[in-house]
Structure 1
Amino acid sequence: MRQVKVLLIDDDEDDYILTKGVFDQISSSYELSWVNSYEKGIGSILKKQFDVYLVDYRLGKGTGIDLLNEAINSGCEQPIIILTGKGDLAIDEQAMNIGAADYLIKDEIEPSSLDRSIRYSIKEASVTKALKDSERKYRAIFEQAKDPILVSDYFGKIYDINSAGLKFLGYERSEILQLNTSAIFKNAEDGEKFRELMERSGSLSDFECELISGRVEACYCSLSSFIQTDMVNVKEVYHTIIHDLSYRKNIEERSVSLGKMSISEHIAKGLGEEIRDPLSTINLALDELAAEPAIVYNETVQSCLEIIKSNCDRVNQLMQNFISSTETKTLNLQRHNILTVIEEAISDVEDLIVGHNIKLTTQFHQSEQKVLLDKPKIKNALISVINNAVESMQSYPKMIHITSTADRGMYEIGVEDNGVGVDPKNQEKIFEPFFTTKKRAGGLGLTHAQRVLTTHNGSIKLKRLAQGSLFLIRIPIYHEGTLWF
């Protein structure tokens, strides 16, 4: 059996002789060494040459507490037992709070008590080291995990979050530790249901919900969680892994949009054919009527015929616009600086903005990175959204704020107005062809914008504000070497 190496750090040689006598009475399982100064003692501790250290409280240059504090701060994992000439409760508590394994009074040391103290100290140090090693492994896995991980309790108090979680939710660590989980659930009902399921079964998988980030964005997620006892706080906590389903959700939404677009295109073309033939017949008949000798000089009849013909032409033009808005056209994709596209779109509607006495402000993310897109189509889509914002404002002051940011491989353009906003019951209809609540509006601008962005693998969404609306346009950032499918 290997001998336990013990180092006595004491500047009094008589104390060493007395201590050696006590060890001689214990057993041969201990090997006692001695150094007589603070410096030699801390040097031996830093070199990790011994299994346990007996440190006298008085060491000349400093105290045993000073040495203990320095050793602990230097990462010493071996047990340190403090020795004093007489009992002092304050020193005892101070030593134990810093990390001493035990506190012994020299005059009361007996072979059996010293042996027990050393054995227990070594055992406790071994357990503590194992726990620390486990904690380090857990912390490494926790911090390096690609998925966000959140540690909270039944009441929503947040105890910890990994780096991926901070990045995903867009918070600083100090900020999120001050929050309650109720602040990150978009719907309070989801938070209640999550807690109910956790308390009922102790774990759950694939709980789908929406979380709110620090950027006030809704993220569609799947939560997998289990309950574990936190030994530090002595309570049960939820360890929750957050899976970002935004990409899957976008794919699903895009698939639905493409399906609707395909149906709309089919209906539009069929309807166009059905309407075009009757309109041609009506126009032909009108031309025949207008040439009749009996009415050729009748101004009233000729005026009525012109009105009919004009409205027929208008119906035909509306039909052409409808078909055009539903057609999936080939994209001429080239790399462009998105800021240039935005600025050109704003320039094209500048007269309209000035004419309506609108205050336009911008805040752009400056970047030289280019985006793969069909410039004329994206520019027209932006113009349609800006026009929609202009038409939505009825009272002064009229304001439009346009922003651009880059995040998670996407460029996001925001067009915000302080107009009348969108009625909640109409929110799902605003991208449908011919749907409009505005006078003298065709109802195809947003339909066209959605189609263009969908074919670019992007999206356009409406966010209702307390006053006005915010349209969020997202376009993928494509890096060199990325293929377009």
Structure 2
Amino acid sequence: MKQVRVLLIDDDEDDYVLTREVFNQISPRYELSWVNSYEKGIYAILKKQFDVFLVDYRLGKGTGIDLLIEAINSGCEEPIIMLTGKGDLAIDEQAMNIGAADYLVKDEIDPSSLDRSIRYAIKQAGSVKALKASERKYRAIFEQANDPILVSDYSGRIYDINTAGLKFFDYERSEILQLNTNAVFSNAVDAEKFRELMESNGSLSDFECELISSKSEIYYCSLSSFIQTDMVNMEEVYHTIVHNLSHRKNIEEKSVSLGKMSISEHIAKGLGEEIRDPLSSVNLALDELAADSSIVYNETIQSYLEIIKSNCDRVNQLMQNFISSTETKTLNLQRHNILTVIEEAISEVQDLIIGHNIKLTTEFHQSEQKVLLDKPKIKNALVSVIKNAVEAMQIYPKMIHISSSSDGGMYEIGVEDNGIGVDPKDHEKIFEPFFTTKKRASGLGLTHTQRVLTTHNGSIKLKQLAQGSLFLIRIPIYHEGTLWF
């Protein structure tokens, strides 16, 4: 039979003698020791040499409550049973609230009640130790997980979040604990559907949705969640693991984009060949007609021929632009300071901006780090996007804000305007050849821009704002050996 080491902490020796007599009437498995001061009691607790402690409420220098508080704050996991000379409900409740295993009145102690109290206290302490060990293990897994983990409830209240989650959503812990989960869902429909599925199924896997960070960065994610009962607060909470699929989605989008470009290039070349021959024949016929002696001096006919010839030339030029916008050309890659490229692009459209009475503001990330790119192509792409912003504004005050930042090996350029924006139904079409909502526009500018950035392993995306649009251009800071030509 395993010995149970019991320590009595009591400054009265007579009480020790009485307590020892009670133990003599109980099972011999108890081994009673005694210290007679507060200091010796704390020292013994810190040494962790006993299985259970009996602590008198009055200890001279301090009270048993003081000792109980100090012991718990020092990490004591062994059960502490409070003893007092007379019953006091206030002391009883205070001791139990602080963490005492039990509370006994000395005059009412008998062998049976003391044995039962010690046995229950040890059993309870064992359960608490196991629970704490499990919590520590869970906490270690929780904090060290690479994926964000969020603990919330049906109402959306956030109880906890791990370090990866704080980094992902870019919040301080104190900030995000004040938020509702609606704040991290990009749209309310996903948030509501998530709650409905959780309540109906109790768990879910691979729930795909868009989440948003404190800086309004939108991530395409997959959520896996399950319900667990919080035994402390007796509430059901959702444990949700966030898998960021943005990289995978970007690869898929890039693959689709490359596929579209390949098809566009094939169609453009084929169409160009089909149109070039008839146009050449038409132009040749027009030249012959214009030189015919019977009509050479007929100004009316000659003017009509000029109109036909002019429009043939326009069709031919439009075809050439289309082919050029879909062609995959070899890049002349060199290292350039991206800020210099941005400033040159702005300089090229400065007169246009001034002519439209537009207020231009800039906010650049100052960096000497150079980017591997084809300078003329990237500059032209930036010029095209800025011109697009200029043309999008119709009402004063007209404003354009150009910003840049560096993040995760990518350089991001933002071109923001306060124009009319893009109709949501047109978002997927704006990079398609010949699509435009503007008068006298070819609809090839953004198509060409997207192709240039794709060949640089970069991207261009539209972000709709409450007023106006924001085009985000991303270019790798350095990606040697992986460029697509």
Q: TM-score range by the shorter chain?
A: over 0.9
How far does residue 78 in structure 1 lie from its aligned partner after superposition? Answer: 0.8
Q: Does 1:136 align with 2:136?
A: yes
CA deviations on 1:185-204 (whole Å, 9 max, x unpaired) are 33433333333332333222
Residue 205 (structure 1) aligns with: 205
Residue 235 (structure 1) aligns with: 235
Residue 455 (structure 2) aligns with: 455
Give the 3 Å change call, closer, same or farther, for CA 461–484 of structure 1 in structure 2: closer
Residue 464 (structure 2) aligns with: 464
Q: What CA distance in whole angstroms lies between the structure 2 residues aligned with 1:156 and 1:322? A: 51
Q: What CA distance in whole angstroms lies between the structure 2 residues aligned with 1:369 and 1:93? A: 65
Q: Structure 2 length normalisation: TM-score?
A: 0.93
AA of the residue aligned to 2:50? F
How far does residue 153 in structure 1 lie from its aligned partner after superposition? Answer: 2.2
Give the 3 Å change call, closer, same or farther, for CA 99–448 of structure 1 in structure 2: same
How far does residue 137 in structure 1 lie from its aligned partner after superposition? Answer: 0.3
AA of the residue aligned to 2:168? F
Residue 266 (structure 1) aligns with: 266
- SS of alignment partner, residue 269 of structure 1: helix
Residue 50 (structure 2) aligns with: 50
Q: What CA distance in whole angstroms lies between the structure 1 residues aligned with 2:345 and 2:16? A: 88
Q: What CA distance in whole angstroms lies between the structure 2 residues aligned with 1:8 and 1:73? A: 20
Within a 5 Å distance, the mapping from 1:51-70 to structure 2 comes to 51-70=51-70
Calculate the aligned-residue CA RMSD, in Å.
2.2
AA of the residue aligned to 1:475? I
Give the 3 Å change call, closer, same or farther, for CA 335–66 of structure 1 in structure 2: farther
Residue 379 (structure 1) aligns with: 379
How far does residue 119 in structure 1 lie from its aligned partner after superposition? Answer: 1.4
Within a 5 Å distance, the mapping from 1:35-114 to structure 2 comes to 35-114=35-114
How far does residue 96 in structure 1 lie from its aligned partner after superposition? Answer: 1.0
How far does residue 321 in structure 1 lie from its aligned partner after superposition? Answer: 0.9
AA of the residue aligned to 1:191? A
Q: What CA distance in whole angstroms lies between the structure 2 residues aligned with 1:472 and 1:393? A: 18
Gaps of 5+ in 1: none
Q: What CA distance in whole angstroms lies between the structure 2 residues aligned with 1:371 and 1:47? A: 62
Within a 5 Å distance, the mapping from 1:176-325 to structure 2 comes to 176-325=176-325
Give the 3 Å change call, closer, same or farther, for CA 100–368 of structure 1 in structure 2: farther
CA deviations on 1:408-467 (whole Å, 9 max, x unpaired) are 443332211011212233222221222222233222111111111222232222222222
Residue 145 (structure 1) aligns with: 145
Give the 3 Å change call, closer, same or farther, for CA 365–284 of structure 1 in structure 2: same
How far does residue 302 in structure 1 lie from its aligned partner after superposition? Answer: 4.0
Residue 405 (structure 1) aligns with: 405
Contact kept in structure 1, 2:456 and 2:483, CA below 8 Å: no
Q: Does 1:434 align with 2:422?
A: no
How far does residue 131 in structure 1 lie from its aligned partner after superposition? Answer: 0.1
- SS of alignment partner, residue 25 of structure 2: helix
AA of the residue aligned to 1:132? K
Q: What CA distance in whole angstroms lies between the structure 1 residues aligned with 2:340 and 2:84? A: 77
AA of the residue aligned to 2:270? G
CA deviations on 1:172-192 (whole Å, 9 max, x unpaired) are 222322333233333433333
AA of the residue aligned to 2:197? L
AA of the residue aligned to 1:467? Q
AA of the residue aligned to 2:329? K
Q: What CA distance in whole angstroms lies between the structure 2 residues aligned with 1:417 and 1:344? A: 19
How far does residue 359 in structure 1 lie from its aligned partner after superposition? Answer: 0.9
Contact kept in structure 1, 2:149 and 2:162, CA below 8 Å: yes
Q: What CA distance in whole angstroms lies between the structure 2 residues aligned with 1:453 and 1:418? A: 24
Q: What CA distance in whole angstroms lies between the structure 1 residues aligned with 2:67 and 2:215? A: 48
Q: What CA distance in whole angstroms lies between the structure 1 residues aligned with 2:56 and 2:213? A: 55
AA of the residue aligned to 2:173? R
Give the 3 Å change call, closer, same or farther, for CA 423–453 of structure 1 in structure 2: same
Give the 3 Å change call, closer, same or farther, for CA 233–410 of structure 1 in structure 2: farther
Q: What CA distance in whole angstroms lies between the structure 1 residues aligned with 2:103 and 2:357? A: 81
Q: What CA distance in whole angstroms lies between the structure 2 residues aligned with 1:295 and 1:204? A: 81
- SS of alignment partner, residue 26 of structure 1: coil
- SS of alignment partner, residue 416 of structure 2: strand
How far does residue 147 in structure 1 lie from its aligned partner after superposition? Answer: 1.2
Q: What CA distance in whole angstroms lies between the structure 1 residues aligned with 2:18 and 2:131? A: 36
CA deviations on 1:93-113 (whole Å, 9 max, x unpaired) are 111111111112222222222
Residue 416 (structure 1) aligns with: 416
Q: What CA distance in whole angstroms lies between the structure 1 residues aligned with 2:343 and 2:84? A: 78
Q: What CA distance in whole angstroms lies between the structure 2 residues aligned with 1:19 and 1:177? A: 50
Q: Which runs of 4+ in 1 moved over 6 A?
A: none
- SS of alignment partner, residue 442 of structure 1: coil
AA of the residue aligned to 1:41? G
Q: What CA distance in whole angstroms lies between the structure 2 residues aligned with 1:299 and 1:3? A: 124
Aligned length: 484
How far does residue 301 in structure 1 lie from its aligned partner after superposition? Answer: 4.2
Contact kept in structure 1, 2:455 and 2:483, CA below 8 Å: no
- SS of alignment partner, residue 236 of structure 1: strand
Report the more deviating stretch, 119-128 or 290-299: 290-299
